[in-house]
């Protein structure tokens, strides 16, 4: 396996032989990278016609906003042979809707992608940005592994539903990790997302983080169809910390989980209103015969 080339200097990368690049990692921390530099990076990446693996980390004191992120994403879309993509943007400014849509457009043009890691927390992408990313995912028919962390981005029912719809188009998706915490869903909103995940026929590993979304018992009930239809899911990690879930809803959840065929189950219900219900929940889950690993986080 060829060793990945690492770059911390944009100028050094642009002046190199771009056609020979196959595996490249960029690490820009506190480099004051702005929209102009992000656009230049996107233009240079577009010339890497043989690129298979691309890792981009832009963190700390950088100044990329919507235009720069969009240009970068569109540039990535020129790499038709890309199979592995990782993007982290945690900058002083926010990439917003336009930036997320540009990244989504780029992803959609890389239809050979098999693995995607995307970390865009606290970037104000909203429903439109989430939908733009989702449409890109839906075009990646070879996608097997997707990890997307989009915490605290003002994503509502439209964006979350579109994510679910497009995930269901990824026919080969086996591993899905999604973090949608801090989005403030109402009880009726969470069902938009969960119902669509059911159509991922090959999904065997699911990690779903819905911490701090303020949904309650009805929101919990909307998860039940997902659990009832999860016969192919062998590993489930469900994080529901800091919501408004009471003891009765938690026991309903335990009853539903006890009917499933999971081999690995991780459940976080801490900082809810469950109180003594934790003990009954644990007793129920410990009786799942096929379970090889069980982890429960609670306040007790």
146 and 208, same domain (yes or no): no
51-65, 248-262, 283-297 — most confident range: 51-65
**3-class DSSP assignment, residue 193:** helix
149 and 180, same domain (yes or no): no
Tell me, what CATH number does 241's domain have? 3.80.10.10
Boundary residue ending a domain (120, 155, 190): 155
* Chain segment 31-77, per-residue pLDDT in tens: 999 999 999 999 999 999 999 999 999 999 999 999 999 999 999 99
224 and 98, same domain (yes or no): no
75 and 175, same domain (yes or no): no
**Radius of gyration (Cα) for the chain, nearest Å?**
20
Boundary residue ending a domain (105, 128, 155): 155
pLDDT tops 70 at residue 225: no
Pairing of strands 235-239, 23-29: unpaired
* Chain segment 129-172, per-residue pLDDT in tens: 999 999 999 999 999 999 999 998 988 878 888 998 999 899 99
Tokens of 165: 């719809």
143 and 169, same domain (yes or no): no
Distance CA 269, CA 238 (A): 9
**Beta carbons of 92 and 121 less than 8 angstroms apart:** no
The pTM of the full predicted model, rounded to 2 decimals, is: 0.92
Assign residue 92 a region (left: φ > 0; alpha: ψ between -120 and 50; beta: otherwise).
alpha
11 and 150, same domain (yes or no): yes
Q: Which domain holds residue 45?
A: 1-155
Boundary residue ending a domain (134, 155, 176): 155
Q: How many CB atoms lie within 10 A of CB 4?
A: 12
Total domains present in the chain: 2
145 and 225, same domain (yes or no): no
Looking at the DSSP bridge assignments, the partners of residue 89 are 58
149 and 170, same domain (yes or no): no
33 and 76, same domain (yes or no): yes
Tokens of 290: 């096929």
195 and 102, same domain (yes or no): no
């Amino acid at each position: 396996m060829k060793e990945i080339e690492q770059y911390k200097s944009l100028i050094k990368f642009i002046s190199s032989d771009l056609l020979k690049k196959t595996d490249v990692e960029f690490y820009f921390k506190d480099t004051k990278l702005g929209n102009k530099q992000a656009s230049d990076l996107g233009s240079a990446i577009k010339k890497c016609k043989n690129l298979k693996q691309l890792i981009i980390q832009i963190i700390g004191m950088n100044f990329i906003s919507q235009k720069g992120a969009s240009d970068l994403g569109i540039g990535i879309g020129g790499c038709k042979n890309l199979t592995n993509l990782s993007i982290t943007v945690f900058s002083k400014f926010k990439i917003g809707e336009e930036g997320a849509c540009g990244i989504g457009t780029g992803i959609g043009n890389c239809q050979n992608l098999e693995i995607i890691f995307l970390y865009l927390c606290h970037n104000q992408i909203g429903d439109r940005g989430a939908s733009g990313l989702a449409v890109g995912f839906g075009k990646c028919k070879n996608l097997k592994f997707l990890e997307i962390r989009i915490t605290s981005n003002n994503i509502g029912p439209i964006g979350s539903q579109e994510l679910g719809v497009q995930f269901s188009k990824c026919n080969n998706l086996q591993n899905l990790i999604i973090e949608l915490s801090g989005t403030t869903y109402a009880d009726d909103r969470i069902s938009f997302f969960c119902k669509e995940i059911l159509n991922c026929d090959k999904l065997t590993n699911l990690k779903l983080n819905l911490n701090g979304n303020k949904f309650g018992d009805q929101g919990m009930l909307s998860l039940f169809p997902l659990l009832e239809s999860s016969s192919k899911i062998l590993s489930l990690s469900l994080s529901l910390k800091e919501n408004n879930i009471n003891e009765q809803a938690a026991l309903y959840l335990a009853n539903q989980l006890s009917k499933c065929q999971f081999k690995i189950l991780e459940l976080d219900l801490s900082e809810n209103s469950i109180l003594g219900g934790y003990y009954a929940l644990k007793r129920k889950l410990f009786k799942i015969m096929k379970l090889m690993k069980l982890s429960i986080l609670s306040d007790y």
